[in-house]
Every structure is written in structure tokens, then in C-alpha cells.
């Protein structure tokens, strides 16, 4: 049942049920219509890998994959993703069996403080799948939506190059 509340423009749902497939698992959430995908993942599902950096779609710390396309989860509403497949950094690998991009980030020191790392890793996975890892310049261009305050860019680029080479 959907609860509604009065508003100036009429009646607005107070909560809506949303069905998502998150990291391969079907999930049903009840959220307010204004809840972002980032907040739903972090606060409702306990998936805290995607970070709330700028909360304006400018830093990329919240990057997740939706139907294999990278998006800033802070700029989309959870209700807009009804029925879609969402992959967070938690869905890529485990400490015992990391995704090749995660392993490359460790091997090439592609992280420092770790705040941007989940978004960088998710974006790198998509970049490689999209075929945009042909050169260091291409990697920099396609990763440009993910910022790193610690300036770990040389390690990030090296990690993406290594992971892309291993994936070919």
C-alpha cells in the first residue's frame, strides 16, 4: 500500500515500493519519492561503498553501474531505477577474490585516502568494458568524471592499464 500526503499541488506519495536487482540480488525497498539511489543503497541496504562526496554529481565518488552503464547515484532518484540492475563496488569482488580492477588498484597504489576509490573502481570497470582503455590519455579522458583529492591519478591510470591488459 502506498501512503499519500497532501501537498500544494495535490496528493503526493509519502512512500513508494521500488524493485531493484542489486549486485545480483532482487531487492524491494520502500522509499520516499525524493530519496536518491545513493541514499537508498547506503541507508536502506547498508551498501556503503559508494560514497557521498559532493552530492551534486561533480566528483564521481558515488559512481555505480545501472544496467552496466556508469551513473552518479547521487543525481538519480531510487524510484527512477525501478526494475533495473544496480552494481556497486561491493558487487564486483570480495577481499578473497577481488575483481581484476580492484586487484590492479591495490597492486598499482591507485588509492590513498580511499574516499574516491569505490567510484574510481566502478568507473574503471565500465571504461574497460566500453573499450576506452587504449591509451593513458584515453583513460584520463574517460575517467575525468571521477575526482581524486589525494592526486593518486598516476596509480589509477596504471591500474586501469594493467586491468585492461589482463582483460584482453
Where a domain ends, among 91, 121, 149? Answer: 91
Instruction: Flag residues of the chain having pLDDT under 70.
Output: 1-12, 166-168
Q: What is the pLDDT of residue 163?
A: 97
75 in the same domain as 129? no
Where a domain ends, among 91, 109, 143? Answer: 91
Percent of the chain with pLDDT over 70: 91
**Whole-prediction pTM:** 0.89
Overall number of domains in the chain: 2
106 in the same domain as 145? yes
71 in the same domain as 117? no
Backbone angles phi, psi at 129, to 5 degrees: -60, -35
75 in the same domain as 17? yes
Q: What is the pLDDT of residue 112?
A: 86
Q: What is the pLDDT of residue 13?
A: 72
Helix and strand element counts for the chain (H, E)? 5, 7
Where a domain ends, among 91, 118, 142? Answer: 91
The span from the CA of 159 to the CA of 115, in Å, is: 17
For 104-109, the CB contacts below 8 A with 24+ separation are: 104/158, 104/159, 104/160, 104/162, 104/163, 104/166, 105/155, 105/156, 105/159, 107/159, 107/162, 108/155, 108/156, 108/158, 108/159, 108/162, 109/152, 109/155
Q: What is the pLDDT of residue 168?
A: 35
9 in the same domain as 84? yes
87 in the same domain as 9? yes
9 in the same domain as 86? yes
Q: What is the pLDDT of residue 14?
A: 84
Residue 51 sits in which domain range? 4-91
Contacts of 107 (CB under 8 A, 6+ apart): 159, 162
106 in the same domain as 38? no
Amino acid at each position: 500500500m502506498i501512503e499519500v500526503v497532501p501537498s500544494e499541488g495535490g496528493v503526493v506519495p509519502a512512500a513508494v515500493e521500488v524493485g531493484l536487482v542489486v549486485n545480483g540480488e532482487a531487492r524491494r525497498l520502500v522509499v520516499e519519492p525524493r530519496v536518491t539511489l545513493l541514499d537508498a543503497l547506503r541507508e536502506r541496504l547498508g551498501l556503503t561503498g559508494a560514497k557521498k562526496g559532493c552530492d551534486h554529481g561533480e566528483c564521481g565518488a558515488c559512481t555505480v553501474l545501472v544496467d552496466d552503464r556508469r551513473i552518479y547515484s547521487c543525481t538519480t532518484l531510487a524510484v527512477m531505477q525501478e526494475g533495473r540492475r544496480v552494481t556497486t563496488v561491493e558487487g564486483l569482488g570480495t577481499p578473497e577474490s577481488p575483481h581484476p580492477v580492484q586487484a590492479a588498484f591495490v597492486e598499482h597504489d591507485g588509492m590513498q585516502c580511499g574516499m574516491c576509490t569505490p567510484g574510481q573502481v566502478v568507473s574503471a570497470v565500465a571504461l574497460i568494458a566500453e573499450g576506452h582503455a587504449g591509451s593513458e590519455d584515453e583513460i584520463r579522458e574517460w575517467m575525468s568524471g571521477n575526482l581524486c583529492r589525494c592526486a593518486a591519478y598516476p596509480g589509477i591510470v596504471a591500474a586501469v592499464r594493467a586491468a585492461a591488459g589482463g582483460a584482453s
